[in-house]
Structure 1
């Protein structure tokens, strides 16, 4: 390692950047990447950038670009990327830039198809053995665009060209659900069945054969099974649906909750009413109140009347509340919330200090984060529940966006879905650390929610999400009401 690079990296342990594997490089500089000051990060970025002109291989450039991206030195990263395009016009980095800058920015299926053909012409799959997954991402996106436009023929044509069996279910499932939602059951059914069968294959492998690919493929089992079985249920093929579900629960009992909706309907359709009632009761007790009509029907059928139902219903809801209260105890904390001043969609400054005296709910999210998006109907319902309470404020902190035009995308997303949210852009870095607000709050993954009391202290912190609107409403109510009370300590 050259002396000038060591000097620039004096605040870190010594590294051999050009020869080092990416993971080794990131691991050695982890303390600076995660907790370094602005000057430390700038020093590391300068050191990396100054070494670039000595590189011989595309992999060295890839490491440099990834490091500069992590350090958020976009100007240097773009400069290195331009050099790569000139030096390796047929390489994978230039190919990836084309995919990002041309293919993904194309909007219509026809435009994406044109870009895909250009991709194959300039960067054939055969030139990149072991990188077939990069092309599968593109194929899935292309098929999805055609599916959204209602062109099932072109969508399935491109899905059939995918290479990696362990991953293709992502494309098949997304397209299948899109076509199903549009009413094209004929085209959706074989796609969902393929996804289900693939996932079943991987989930049924002996434990010693389950690598990361197998585990990834297995994750789609419940969703594809639920969608496919839902088609069978709608067609009245209850026995076939039930056979598939019970087969699934044998090899993957952890999927029981995800399959509960189609399970009870299949049990009901085959006359197994008591079992259907038991599954329904568990669903309702977990906050899925949309099944109440069926629950009432079975209650009256099995009990001969509706006598006692009100008491039974109240008991289920009280049990759920107790369960939520026990659950949120695990999320308790008590520490001052980092102060902030962020701009909203109108360009106005919103500060935490200005909200003192209110319980504040922070929801960190991004437009690309599907779990975040799935929780929004529930969060909207929770916010509506407190619409007349001036002592509660919901703030939706948009963070970790990947595109330069993210602000326009955020506005478009909020307007399209008509969410009445107060959205703040998390793009103002701390001058001392260079961190955005998410990092200052210790966020490692999104969605992440913080409940801050009237005195500015974080009382609860939770990650993950649920698509269950009723459950989110009840959970947020318990969190907010608990935060209104004085801290026990």
Structure 2
């Protein structure tokens, strides 16, 4: 992708002719490909912008910060040659701005620096807290949008904010301590202890108790944390920590009687609406359902007011019944209810989404729930209704298994022409499973074709392969791979440096990671395929586990053994005992798992792949191509 820069003088000539009243206070501000109409914008200002890009912009939004909170808003852009123009009004409460632009399939992040804008007061002085609010947002969310930040610069922002305005300590102290712990755990512990000591002669408020509990948890002092939590719950029974204790108690309750007792205690001592009460209602409802008491299930489910969570639970319960082929009439009612809830949510946008993001999220959720509904209807023999539901599930691009079910339903309805058309398209796009190809074969024999099916299928697969290979060539990297030396489950030390000359596939995973586990049958196929190739090595790096020490190792070993995987599993090392920060996954800057890296014989990273789309055969084929390209074949 080539991004063009427009000189600042020209960038706004086509936007509008400024009148005296809306003339910019400053000369335009240029940041990478973005130009703004003011150098020092203030809260409440109307701001014009121009963004230069040769490719289409698929998403554009800005985020305004208010201390540690952030709120995203869409930007409506108009194409003007090789740039896009738009405008926004800065909210009065804002203290900083961050702009994000997705060009094609990737976020363009100004060479990883991002597009961030401090806000100023009427005297042209940066608003107190503007710099730290932006640093805090970038530290937590920047990597999602291609922005790179260093912990030491974020830590410096926290320190400066507190030094400049001691009153802001309540907002930034805990983020400062947690960030400091990534760089110097001893220094972080000292700061935590000093802060704890500062409360010794103070009459504690609810906020003070909450902060102290956080500090004791950071210091892993569970007895003192538990003791203070008890005091807080007694003095402030409606505090979040006190309410969350009931959630813990509900999770630990072993039977219905115990669960109902927790709910009764909650109503008597706290008696507030909110997520904790909703959770208890849903938990009790689910327990009733598992006991076969559908009347009480529906009674307690209706009491819950968190519609998104309620719909998710209904869908999960319905899907489990659909997979098992049991209680399909009940599953149908639950699935239909989940869809009705989603449909009713269209005017209830949460703060953490822009409007367009919210609409996409709802469409994705509706598609997922429609997939459940379609499968239930299909298993009930309601074929045409199942097809209609599945058409909603595949309305937007979706995973290969969802497409597979759609084609399966069409086959059952003997719509061979439609199956031929859709399945051919899926194969050509590389979105076909083995079963989808089998359905295509059935449709092929039931429609009029002169060419033999194997030749036809091979031609489609070649198109898909060539297209995928061309895309992979564009995505090839040539970056230094961080070195490591880790133990595997046999106790052997595996050093990456010793594998130079081989093509190495690294797979970062954890036992709690659903997509990781779903991808493993495909990874096993790949491992088996290359078992006799001494020039290819697969390493599965376990990381981010919630357990540690022997318990962690036993859990990982048991999982691998129980599933008969022949993986060489390496144990990533925590930065310190009990930490969720791990050395190698951090060195590779992994943001989510599963994430795979393919290293070439020169020891450099050639490919990075995040997530799993559910297509086992596609995963093996993609790894084949990556290994081939990384090996120079």
TM-score by length of 2: 0.62
Cα shift at 1:429: 1.8
Name the CA distance, whole Å, in 2 between partners of 1:314 and 1:280.
14
Query: Which of 96, 108, 116 in structure 1 is aligned with 2:259?
Result: 116
**Using a 3 Å threshold, how does the CA distance of structure 1 residues 471 and 47 change in structure 2: closer, same or farther?**
farther
Unaligned runs of 5+ in 1: 1-7
Name the CA distance, whole Å, in 1 between partners of 2:358 and 2:271.
20
Instruction: Please tell me whether residue 170 in structure 1 is matched to residue 312 in structure 2.
Output: yes
Query: Which of 572, 583, 587 in structure 2 is aligned with 1:426?
Result: 572
Q: Deviations over 1:174-223 (max 9, x none)?
A: 22222223331233221122222322344698999959877655442222
Q: Contact 1:104 / 1:112 at 8 angstroms: preserved in 2?
A: no
Query: Which of 516, 532, 538 in structure 2 is aligned with 1:372?
Result: 516
9-18 or 81-90, which moves further after superposition? Answer: 9-18
Instruction: Please tell me whether residue 385 in structure 1 is matched to residue 533 in structure 2.
Output: no
Instruction: Please tell me whether residue 402 in structure 1 is matched to residue 546 in structure 2.
Output: yes
**Using a 3 Å threshold, how does the CA distance of structure 1 residues 124 and 400 change in structure 2: closer, same or farther?**
farther
Instruction: Please tell me whether residue 450 in structure 1 is matched to residue 597 in structure 2.
Output: yes
Name the CA distance, whole Å, in 2 between partners of 1:74 and 1:112.
34
Q: Contact 1:328 / 1:479 at 8 angstroms: preserved in 2?
A: yes
**Using a 3 Å threshold, how does the CA distance of structure 1 residues 81 and 291 change in structure 2: closer, same or farther?**
same
Cα shift at 1:46: 4.1
**Using a 3 Å threshold, how does the CA distance of structure 1 residues 88 and 31 change in structure 2: closer, same or farther?**
closer
Q: Contact 1:202 / 1:215 at 8 angstroms: preserved in 2?
A: no
Spell out the pairing of 1:328-339 with structure 2 (5 A cutoff): 328-329=472-473, 331-339=475-483
Instruction: Please tell me whether residue 83 in structure 1 is matched to residue 212 in structure 2.
Output: no
- Point out the structure with the larger strand share: 2
Task: Find the counterpart in structure 1 of residue 445 from structure 2.
Answer: 300
Q: Contact 1:451 / 1:483 at 8 angstroms: preserved in 2?
A: yes
Name the CA distance, whole Å, in 2 between partners of 1:67 and 1:204.
39
**Using a 3 Å threshold, how does the CA distance of structure 1 residues 429 and 254 change in structure 2: closer, same or farther?**
same
SS at match of 1:12: helix
Q: Contact 2:541 / 2:571 at 8 angstroms: preserved in 1?
A: yes
**Using a 3 Å threshold, how does the CA distance of structure 1 residues 258 and 312 change in structure 2: closer, same or farther?**
same
Aligned alpha-carbon RMSD (Å): 4.1
Name the CA distance, whole Å, in 2 between partners of 1:122 and 1:46.
35
Instruction: Please tell me whether residue 93 in structure 1 is matched to residue 241 in structure 2.
Output: yes
Q: Contact 1:339 / 1:352 at 8 angstroms: preserved in 2?
A: yes
SS at match of 1:75: coil
**Using a 3 Å threshold, how does the CA distance of structure 1 residues 259 and 292 change in structure 2: closer, same or farther?**
closer
Please say which structure displays the higher CA radius of gyration.
2
**Using a 3 Å threshold, how does the CA distance of structure 1 residues 392 and 61 change in structure 2: closer, same or farther?**
farther
Task: Find the counterpart in structure 1 of residue 382 from structure 2.
Answer: 237
SS at match of 1:318: helix
Cα shift at 1:225: 0.8
SS at match of 2:477: strand
Query: Which of 224, 241, 247 in structure 1 is aligned with 2:369?
Result: 224
**Greater relative contact order, per chain length (Cα 8 Å cut-off, separation 6+):** 1
Cα shift at 1:475: 0.9
Task: Find the counterpart in structure 2 of residue 4 from structure 1.
Answer: none
Q: Contact 1:195 / 1:224 at 8 angstroms: preserved in 2?
A: yes
Q: Contact 2:371 / 2:393 at 8 angstroms: preserved in 1?
A: no
Name the CA distance, whole Å, in 2 between partners of 1:156 and 1:20.
47
Spell out the pairing of 1:194-273 with structure 2 (5 A cutoff): 194-202=337-345, 210=355, 218-246=363-391, 253-254=396-397, 259-273=402-416
TM-score by length of 1: 0.79
Name the CA distance, whole Å, in 1 between partners of 2:477 and 2:216.
35
331-340 or 273-282, which moves further after superposition? Answer: 331-340
Name the CA distance, whole Å, in 2 between partners of 1:274 and 1:167.
40
SS at match of 1:451: strand
Query: Which of 439, 444, 463 in structure 2 is aligned with 1:319?
Result: 463
Cα shift at 1:401: 2.3
